[in-house]
Amino acid sequence: MAETIKRIGILTSGGDCSGLNAVIESVVKSASSKNIQVLGFKMGYDGLLYNDYVLLDNASVRNIGHEGGSILGNSNKTNLFHRRIFQEDGTITYRDDSLIAVKNLQNDSVDALVVVGGDGSMTSARDFARLGVNVVCIPKTIDNDVPYTDKTFGYSTAVERIADALCSIKTTGYSHNRIMVLEVMGRHAGWLALEGGLSGDADIILIPEIPYNIEHITERLIQRYKDGFKSTLICVSEGSHAVDGKVTATVNTKYPDSVKLGGVGTKIAYELEERLKDVTDQEVRCTNLGYVQRGGNTNYSDRILSFRYGSYAVDTIVKKEYGVMVAIRGEKLVTVPLEDVVGNGPMGETSKGGSKNVDEDSDLLRCARSMGVYLGE
């Protein structure tokens, strides 16, 4: 282990989100104030494999804090411990290339590595830590489903996008007396739909943690119609499913994360229109908000969280505390062992540890119910 930290690396891995550039800015500025050099590895873990990096200084991160995306690029397909190799005959084989990355880091005299990523990226980070790499992770995802931290950066901006979208959809829904469905991201956690839906004034919010009953939703819509509410706003999480059903997804085995959620909003819209056609004759339309949730300018709250995470990650490295994720609990920044965050499974696994889900007893659910939002039970 190096006596004093002279050089660190940073990479952004997994699906992107707002705030990545703010984290990079914070890491670079905090490191440079301590005379630590920063290498920015490009395209996530691919950068480690190909030793593809740029030297980042204060000038290179000027004015990037508000911008979406990552100046380093993101890859969510690379697991260097179980790397897919496409053979000429079209078959796929797997290889462990992790030691190439470790060698590159040693040759580049990188004393510690900041991995900015979600659960998949942190699983690889855990495995690099097991190989002796000094790793500190920063939790990133719009889904807010990383355990042991109150908030991931990128989430707040995505919630804002959802609320804005609902406000726009609401006015056209009113004009046409339509039922409007908005499908949002979030994988198997309902945070985005719940907070986005609440702040965007949705009448019905469907989340994966509460399987929905389409009959009950239909009854609710008919009642609303009779009560004079001709338009209804429904915010549905992509991971939602019926009480007796499965998630709506497409499967592409070419990718490590082969199950791609999406389409439940369209399915619900179709089912509702079919059920309502002989009763209220209302049209139902669906909008899938998609990648709007991951891009664009980073809001102030995510910028501040990203800055705090970035500077705390550098402080953690200076203290030589490794194999951890930085986390926020209330107003306090803390560290959590990666093995707690993603589990202590075997090297190279693509799966992950726990996911932080909306708790049935949460105050957020209580608030939604008490304000008359219907949760589709």
Catalytic residues: 143
CA-nearest of 266, 257, 256, 312 to 287 is 266
> Strands, E, within the chain: which ranges?
7-12, 37-41, 53-56, 83-86, 92-95, 112-117, 135-139, 179-184, 204-206, 232-237, 249-251, 259-261, 284-288, 324-329, 332-337
Q: Does the footprint of ligand F6P cover residue 185 (CB under 6 A)? A: yes
Q: Give the residue with the Cβ less far from ligand F6P, 280 or 297.
A: 297
Label each residue of 120-157 as H, E or C. HHHHHHHHHHHCCCCEEEEEECCCCCCCCCCCCECHHH
Binding to ligand F6P in span 212-241, by CB under 6 A: 238
Q: Does the footprint of ligand F6P cover residue 120 (CB under 6 A)? A: no
Q: Give the residue with the Cβ less far from ligand F6P, 8 or 205.
A: 205
Query: What is the sign of the dihedral through the CA atoms of 299, 300, 304 and 305?
Result: negative
Provide, rounded to whole angstroms, the least separation between the CB of residue 52 and ligand F6P: 21
Q: Which of 19, 68, 73, 186 binds ligand F6P (CB under 6 A)?
A: 186
Q: Give the residue with the Cβ less far from ligand F6P, 263 or 345.
A: 263
Provide, rounded to whole angstroms, the least separation between the CB of residue 108 and ligand F6P: 29
Provide, rounded to whole angstroms, the least separation between the CB of residue 163 and ligand F6P: 17
How many chain residues interact with ligand F6P (CB under 6 A)? 11
The site string for ligand F6P over 131-170 (x = CB under 6 A, - otherwise) reads ----------xxx---------------------------
Q: Which residue type, as a one-letter code, is found at position 351?
A: S
Q: Does the footprint of ligand F6P cover residue 20 (CB under 6 A)? A: no
The site string for ligand F6P over 239-268 (x = CB under 6 A, - otherwise) reads ----------------------x-------
Angle at which helices 155-176 and 191-199 cross, to 10°: 50
Q: How far apart are CA 92 and CA 373, in angstroms?
A: 48
The one segment of 184-192, 220-228, 321-329, 338-346 that binds ligand F6P by CB under 6 A: 184-192
Strands 332-337 and 324-329: antiparallel
Note the residues at the interface with ligand F6P (CB under 6 A): 15, 76, 141-143, 185-187, 238, 261, 294
